[in-house]
């Protein structure tokens, strides 16, 4: 039975990967694409944000099942906004300790639904070993000792104990958790200027080391975070350079097998991304200022808590780059029409969606104010085999009925499913807004990228990643990132328990 290595490049853009493959500048990806299957369109989650998408990849479910709604979201259980550290300002405000706790512990131990097992849990329960190198979603059953680096320990009162980090048997989380370095320790970039080991080279070095030392688990995820940062800064279409750098790390791992041919004889090797990015305009008009648009409503601040019984807050704005959640905090939905009315007048809001009642959802197009109601099950079928009913303008999600009863989505792939999964992720009444190409949302605590790259929306540009699968035959006609899980389990002769 072959082992599986899954390389995940954050914000991997399909046409940029396609271009550098044809230019021959990414030798490892090119080798794998030539020997394997190259799928240039795989649909990601909505919102197209890393915690949401990576949870979908590792559990094979959408956020309505796995329970991680966004990078910033309102948690009804604790009646507070959760922020995994979107900006340095928010990290300062919330406190580094809390951000680390949210990102490293709560995201995996509390937020990720315990009912949706991770690939690591499924594989280890089936008798296989699993490993994770720097991928944020790591939940497993083996305790690892986390060592908090000195500068971090100074700035926080952060104390992690051995039982705090439960992951697969081979776990690397930057310099917090890692196997003993082999050879020169300077070869592993870490410390405050190298994001404490959360960088491509560190990930590549650890992966290569595991192979070299005969420690490679049956399944391992190797995550490369650097491309996301580069693409945000320079724009997705200029991200070729950082994708090539991720490729160099894959080269170093493949080299450890003696020959690349041998690497493929012994392994299934998959390369993909979590989501892509799209270009944001330079200039104030490309920022949709939600604080300003919704200033008439009393907003819950990032550090505040909603008090039961005497709640004066009306909304919580949770910006996720090119999408935002507006949670409604009052007992009744009285202000919903007002909030929707304001958002619907702005053509920069491509979709404004909310749940009307049980299995009935509404989505409105900003500017035109066209409406579309939709529900699960009905006479219309999509390419994934799911059925729907609808009334209103399908153009709101760029869909059309082909032939008799087939619904096809254009610019907003798998729109019905993905909208519902964002509206049904955990409890809390909310409106989800998704921006038109070129725009992103602004509110206090939102990271912005004028003239650079951004993601989060339902739009195809943010939502489509490429995937290379080598060393195993694969047939996926309408691929989505949730297909990874069954595909990998299948290689080991296992089936998902959910």
Instruction: Using the structure block, give the residue that is written with the tokens 């060393």.
Output: 471
- Measured from the CB atom, the residue of 178 and 455 that comes closer to Zn ion is 455
Least CB distance from residue 98 to Zn ion, whole Å? 21
Distance set, CA 134 to CA 42, 44, 50, 175 (Å): 22, 20, 13, 10
- Measured from the CB atom, the residue of 217 and 236 that comes closer to Zn ion is 236
* Contact between 483 and Zn ion per CB under 5 A: no
Burial class (CB in 10 A: 0-12, 13-18, 19+), 230: buried
- Measured from the CB atom, the residue of 13 and 178 that comes closer to Zn ion is 13
| Opening angle at CA 307, ends 304 and 310, nearest 5 | 130
Q: Tell me the window of 38-46, 228-236, 278-286, 294-302 that interacts with Zn ion (CB under 5 A).
A: 228-236
- Measured from the CB atom, the residue of 113 and 454 that comes closer to Zn ion is 454
Site string for Zn ion, 461-480 (x = CB under 5 A): --------------------
Least CB distance from residue 49 to Zn ion, whole Å? 7
Using an 8 Å Cβ cutoff, are 59 and 116 in contact?
A: yes
Tokens for 376, please give them.
């699960």
CB within 8 Å of 486: residues ≥ 6 apart? 60, 495, 496
Q: H or E segment at 17? A: helix 14-23
**HSE (side-chain half, CA atoms, 13 Å) at 57:** 30
Least CB distance from residue 275 to Zn ion, whole Å? 8
* Contact between 218 and Zn ion per CB under 5 A: no
- Measured from the CB atom, the residue of 124 and 228 that comes closer to Zn ion is 228
Using an 8 Å Cβ cutoff, are 362 and 371 in contact?
A: yes
Residue nearest to Zn ion (CB): 228
Least CB distance from residue 460 to Zn ion, whole Å? 17
Q: 315-320 and 142-144 as β-strands: parallel, antiparallel, unpaired?
A: unpaired
- Measured from the CB atom, the residue of 151 and 451 that comes closer to Zn ion is 451
Least CB distance from residue 10 to Zn ion, whole Å? 7
Using an 8 Å Cβ cutoff, are 436 and 279 in contact?
A: no
- Measured from the CB atom, the residue of 228 and 459 that comes closer to Zn ion is 228
Q: Tell me the window of 210-218, 221-229, 395-403, 463-471 that interacts with Zn ion (CB under 5 A).
A: 221-229
Query: Of how many residues is the chain composed?
Result: 498
**HSE (side-chain half, CA atoms, 13 Å) at 283:** 4
- Measured from the CB atom, the residue of 228 and 382 that comes closer to Zn ion is 228
Least CB distance from residue 228 to Zn ion, whole Å? 4
Instruction: By CB under 5 A, name the one of 83, 226, 228, 398 that touches Zn ion.
Output: 228
- DSSP state letters, 131-190: EEES-S----SEEEPPPPPHHHHHHS-----GGGEEE-SEEEBTTTB-PPP-S-GGGS--
CA distance 476 to 473: 10
CA distance 53 to 107: 13
Q: H or E segment at 384? A: none
Least CB distance from residue 216 to Zn ion, whole Å? 29
Site string for Zn ion, 169-208 (x = CB under 5 A): ----------------------------------------
Closest CA to 221 of 143, 167, 185, 165: 167
- Measured from the CB atom, the residue of 200 and 228 that comes closer to Zn ion is 228
Q: Tell me the window of 190-198, 225-233, 312-320, 490-498 that interacts with Zn ion (CB under 5 A).
A: 225-233
Least CB distance from residue 174 to Zn ion, whole Å? 18
Q: Which of residues 266-325 bind Zn ion (CB under 5 A)?
A: none
Q: Tell me the window of 188-196, 222-230, 365-373, 410-418 that interacts with Zn ion (CB under 5 A).
A: 222-230
Instruction: Using the structure block, give the residue that is written with the tokens 């080269």.
Output: 251
Using an 8 Å Cβ cutoff, are 222 and 207 in contact?
A: yes
Least CB distance from residue 32 to Zn ion, whole Å? 24
Q: Tell me the window of 20-28, 220-228, 331-339, 381-389 that interacts with Zn ion (CB under 5 A).
A: 220-228
Using an 8 Å Cβ cutoff, are 486 and 33 in contact?
A: no
Least CB distance from residue 232 to Zn ion, whole Å? 6
- Measured from the CB atom, the residue of 52 and 104 that comes closer to Zn ion is 52
Q: What is the total count of residues that contact Zn ion (CB under 5 A)?
A: 1
Q: Tell me the window of 215-223, 224-232, 291-299, 394-402 that interacts with Zn ion (CB under 5 A).
A: 224-232
Least CB distance from residue 352 to Zn ion, whole Å? 23
Site string for Zn ion, 56-75 (x = CB under 5 A): --------------------
Which residues make up the interface to Zn ion (CB under 5 A)?
A: 228
């Amino acid at each position: 039975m072959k082992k599986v290595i899954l390389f995940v490049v954050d914000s991997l853009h399909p046409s940029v990967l396609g271009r550098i493959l044809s230019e021959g500048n990414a030798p490892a990806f090119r080798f794998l694409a030539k020997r394997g299957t190259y799928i240039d369109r795989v649909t990601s989650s909505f919102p197209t944000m890393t915690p949401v998408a990576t949870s979908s990849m590792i559990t094979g479910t959408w956020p309505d099942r796995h329970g991680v709604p966004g990078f910033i979201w309102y948690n009804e259980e604790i009646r507070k906004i959760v922020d995994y550290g979107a900006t340095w300002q928010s990290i300062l405000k919330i406190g580094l300790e809390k951000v680390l706790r949210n990102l490293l512990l709560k995201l995996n131990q509390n937020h990720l639904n315990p009912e949706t097992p991770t690939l690591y849990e499924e594989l280890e329960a089936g008798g296989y070993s699993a490993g994770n190198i720097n991928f944020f979603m790591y939940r497993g059953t083996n305790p690892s000792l986390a060592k908090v680096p000195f500068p971090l320990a100074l700035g926080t009162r952060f104390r992690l104990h051995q039982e705090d980090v439960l992951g697969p048997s081979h776990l690397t989380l930057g310099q917090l958790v890692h196997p003993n370095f082999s050879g020169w320790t300077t070869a592993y970039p870490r410390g405050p200027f190298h994001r404490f080991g959360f960088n491509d080279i560190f990930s590549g070095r650890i992966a290569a080391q595991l192979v070299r030392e005969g420690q490679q688990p049956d399944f391992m995820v190797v995550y490369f975070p650097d491309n996301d940062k580069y693409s945000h800064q320079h724009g997705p279409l200029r991200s070729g350079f950082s994708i090539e750098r991720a490729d160099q790390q894959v080269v170093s791992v493949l080299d450890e097998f003696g020959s690349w041919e041998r690497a493929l004889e012994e392994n299934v090797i998959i390369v993909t991304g979590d989501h892509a990015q799209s270009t944001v305009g330079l200039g104030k008009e490309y920022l949709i200022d939600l604080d300003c648009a919704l200033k008439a409503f009393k907003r819950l601040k990032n550090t505040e808590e909603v008090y039961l019984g005497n709640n004066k807050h009306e909304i919580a704005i949770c910006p996720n780059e090119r999408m935002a959640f507006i949670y409604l905090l009052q007992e009744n939905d009285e202000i919903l029409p007002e909030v929707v009315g304001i958002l619907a007048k702005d053509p920069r809001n491509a979709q404004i969606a909310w749940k009307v009642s049980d299995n009935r959802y509404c989505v409105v197009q900003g500017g035109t104010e066209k409406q579309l109601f939709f529900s699960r099950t009905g006479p219309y079928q999509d390419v994934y085999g799911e059925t729907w009913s609808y009334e209103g303008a399908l153009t709101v999600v760029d869909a059309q009925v082909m032939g008799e009863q087939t619904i096809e989505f254009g610019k907003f792939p798998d729109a019905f499913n993905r909208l519902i999964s964002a509206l049904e992720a955990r409890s809390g009444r909310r409106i989800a807004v998704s921006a038109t190409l070129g725009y992103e949302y602004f509110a206090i605590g939102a990271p912005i990228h004028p003239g650079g790259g951004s993601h989060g929306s339902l739009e195809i540009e943010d939502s489509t990643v490429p995937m290379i699968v080598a060393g195993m035959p694969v047939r996926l006609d309408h691929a989505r990132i949730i297909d990874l899980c069954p595909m990998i389990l299948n290689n080991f002769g296992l089936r998902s328990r959910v």
